[in-house]
Structure formats: structure tokens, C-alpha cells
Amino acid sequence: MPVTYQVKDNVALLTLDRPEKRNAITTKMALRIRDLCEEVNRDDEVRCLVITGSGGQAFCAGTDVGSLDEFQTPWQLRRRPAYTDYVRGVEKCVIAAVNGYAFGGGLELALSCDIRIASRQASFAAPEVKLGWIGGGGMAALLTHSIGPSNAAFMLCTGDPVDADRALRWGLVSEVLPAGDLIGRALDIARTIASRPPIATQVAKLNLRAAHHLTVDDAIRYERDLQTLTFYTEDAEEGRRAFQEKRPGVFRGR
């Protein structure tokens, strides 16, 4: 199966491993991603997930266009396995290490992650319009939230690629690094997140998601409720004790 998965130091690394096809995703790969995302949610030892592509040329070129022939009716296409939904369903923080092309569904995959960093060779595009359709994995909503309506319209309506420097200026990615430093940096960020109290990081992610959809007043009320819940966890008590005792906290997710 051209999707590899490994866990070390409370960090899971999921690699799309089909470099000869620019890591384009087949239906079987989508189902494998679903299973691995469910495993990340179940496994308390995993506190952060990094997603990348193999081969150095592409992060992910999206859905394998040839695999779309499997769907004989519009309803079958509508109900196809949606790997972007599976990634957005991960309860823990997800980092995209974009090492090359992130086109079509590959861009949606990166947008479905919470943090995105990129190599200098990375480029991003929503090219579906050139083929006569549009993205269906959250492209417009996620792009608009990420880079604003004008920049999103530029990408959606031209289908042309955006390089890593422009992606950084637009806020599509948080950092741009030399290719050789990308995975190391992604894993460093992941290990930092994994060292934090896991309930707090997962609740922080919930809070961010809610902030996209609620009014400001509702979002603040929701945040205050979440703060109250996290404040009385064992991890929060340990955090306060560790701060007073000037030592690193030991967090168990309770």
C-alpha cells in the first residue's frame, strides 16, 4: 500500500508513497488514510500527526484522475471516500510538510491540516477549473479562510500555481524552508506540540474550528466554557504545580 505510517516520540508520520504518480491518491489509498486517521484518534500515545509525500517532487497531486472512472454515476462520485474529510476529522493537531506539488485534492489535503510548512520547491494550485470542474473537498471554503476571498478567487478561477514564497506572503503556509530541512522541522514542531498537555491541545483545536463559524461573542463564550473545562483537568493541575516548582510538567491526558 503506497501510504506508510510510523509512530515515534508521540508523533505519527503519514507519508504518501507513490512518487511515480506524484503521490496522487487512489480509492484504496483514501480508505487507508481513513483507517490511519481513525487510528490516530484512538491511540493515546499519538499526540500529533505529520503528513508528507515521498520522492521530493510532490506532496500530493490530488485524486488520481484515472481512478475517477470507477464512479459510473454522479451519486457514486458524490459518495466516494473523501480523504480530506478524514484528515479534518483527526482530533489532534495535524501538520502538513509540503515538499513539492500540492495540486487539486493535494491542496485540499494540505488545507485540511492545522499547520502547513513548505519547502522552497513547493507550489500550490486548484487546477480543476482547467479540466471543467471544481474542487469538492472543501477547496473554496478552506482557501477563503486561509488566504482571503481575493487570493482564493485568483487560485480558483485561474487554476494557476502559486509558489512557496507567495504562499508564505498570503498565509497559506507558516514557514518556507530548504527541502532538506522540511521534515526535520515538521517533526520538531510536532514533538513540541506532543510535549504539551494533550487535552489542552485538542481543545485548542476545537476552539480554533469553532472560531471560524461562530460570531465573535459566541466564540468568546464557547472559549470561556472550554477554558473552564480544561482548567480542572489533572494535566492543568500538574501544569500549575510544575510552574510553581520550576520543573517540566508530566502530562498524562487526564
Interacting residues of 245 by C-beta distance below 8 A, sequence separation 6+: none
- Spatial contact of 47 and 201, defined as CB atoms under 8 Å apart: yes
Largest Cα–Cα distance of the chain, in whole Å? 64
20 is an active site residue: no
Cβ count within 10 A of residue 71: 14
Which residues share a beta bridge with 97? 52, 117
Pick the catalytic residue: 70, 128, 237, 238? 128
Q: Are 38 and 2 within 8 A, CB to CB? A: no
Structural contact between residues 117 and 175, judged by C-beta atoms closer than 8 angstroms: yes
Q: For the CA atoms of the chain, what is the radius of gyration?
A: 19
For residue 168, give the amino acid letter.
Answer: L
- Catalytic residue, candidates 20, 108, 175, 223: 108
Angle at 244 between CA 239 and CA 248, to 5 degrees: 50
Q: Is position 245 annotated as part of the catalytic site?
A: no
Cα 61 to chain center, whole Å? 15
Catalytic residues: 108, 128
